[in-house]
Amino acid sequence: MKEIREKADVCVIGSGAGGAVCAKELQEAGLSVVVMEQGGDFSRIDPEEDLIQGSIRVLAKTRAFRGNVGMGNPMVPIAWGSSVGGSTVLNTGTSWRVPQKVLRAWRDDHGLEVFTDDHISRLSERVEKFTSIGPVSDDIMGMSGKLMRKGVAALGWSGGPVRRNASGCRGCGSCVVGCPYDAKKAMHLSYIPRAIELGARLHKKTRAEKVLMRRQRVTGVEGIQVGEDGRKWKVTVEARVVIVAGGAVPSAVLLLRNGIANSSGQVGMNLRLHPGAVVGALFDEDVECWKGVTQSYYCDEFLREGIIILVGALPPPIGALIVPGTGAAHKGFMARYRGFTDAGALISDTSSGRVRAVGHNALITYSLADTDVQRLKKGFSALVKIYFAAGARYVFPLVQGGAALESIRQAEEFIEKHIARNSLLTASLHPMGTARMGRNPASSVVDMFLESHDVKGLFVCDASVFPTSIAVNPQESIMTLATHASEHIAAHMEDYS
């Protein structure tokens, strides 16, 4: 097998929100960086293509995502990005700072005193400036966001326009199949190009296989690169620092397969999925939910209880899964899809799952705790109240045996009687945990600078390190922690000689 050999100060595994930030920040600090990315380039979608009607087909064609299922009650489908740019390519661009309540818990319960509000604020401002993070404006919000705003205001609840990493957004509604106008500043359009401009080297379609070590210090990474013609090359990168940033599931599998950084037995444990409750609504007026930013407005009235509510605005092929009924009944509702919209309530789960490595694949187990089932039911209740307050004719909770409900009373009765753990239809786009931070090496995988307690020079820089669920979409939080770790690495590089 042909071999490619590289030498660098740092080898980064993964090019998503964590890996891309590390690559750019460390290269900018004067270090040499090589990035290994298992996926290939994301092909920019043609703006003339019918992205709305063909959304599922487009997603399948790009092959820019991977998935698995959390086995438990209920089963939870889990997805993450698998291309240059990772999940940032196919998400909505929603960007939140780590909530202050979460930071307090990290400091008080996990000994992570470095994460002060001021420190995180400084790092977040750096990320926000580089990726043009700002609130969704009215001209691209779309009716879906405006109806949620109307309902939230009518109830006197707290909410606002979502902040996103986009500039020049046209509100075309195709965020989750990849922005056709390159307005969303995903990693393949922002941090990765800057890192390469500064001298970083990127190996695409290269799966990291082995973290090389000597005397409990990293010395590099071995991987396998697959060419367009199917031929394979061995890629070996000699490096003083290795950063694992493949995401909460792939990173856990890599560490477990290598049998490293796990003296605590916590690698793969403590998986959080940030599951959600979804409710669709049908209005008499035209909504045309496929027009406007996909995720444009939020309600944080219940954030202290670990619930964040966000507009979803799904295109017809995906939204059809929410509309209840079969045959003529389903067809009748779909004929009125111009009046349809939807939203989700994501919960900060206390449930804890596990990732096991089975070859290169993951076996994931996860079951919702009773407290999280109750949080999801509260999320359902909040969503139906918002939509009825905004003037909805019907609401559709996404559960097994879902129904079209015409009043708050009817909806509340349905939620109480028919929504239970085994009827929930939920999914996860935000897996977290599996290599959590902590001061105590006996109960955590990495320290407060994201370095392994066990292996010198081995860092984990993705959502794996969150010691708790963070209650909000994790993209900016991952980028902020990656910036934090990069500053530490750059300042202490002499320790890794």
Do the beta carbons of residue 468 and residue 350 sit within 8 Å?
no
Q: Is 461 exposed, middle or buried (0-12, 13-18, 19+ CB in 10 A)?
A: buried
- Residues serving a catalytic function are 430
Q: What is the rounded radius of gyration, in angstroms, for the C-alpha atoms of the chain?
A: 22
- Cα dist. 56→40, 42, 318, 349, 399 in Å? 19, 16, 7, 28, 21
CA distance 244 to 211: 10
- Cα dist. 180→205, 293, 302, 316, 319 in Å? 23, 13, 34, 19, 21
Taking CA 477 as the corner, what is the angle to CA 469 and CA 32, rounded to the nearest 5 degrees? 130
CA distance 491 to 494: 8
Q: Is the dihedral of CA 142, 143, 148, 154 positive or negative?
A: positive
Q: What DSSP designation does 187 have?
A: G
Amino acid present at 81: G
Which are the contacts of 24, defined by CB distance < 8 A and separation ≥ 6?
A: 191, 192, 194, 195, 198, 200
Q: What strands, in cross-sheet order, belong to the sheet with 340-347?
A: 159-161, 297-299, 307-311, 340-347, 276-282, 394-397
Which are the contacts of 85, defined by CB distance < 8 A and separation ≥ 6?
A: 15, 16, 20, 42, 186, 187, 188, 189, 192
3-class DSSP state for residue 363? Answer: strand
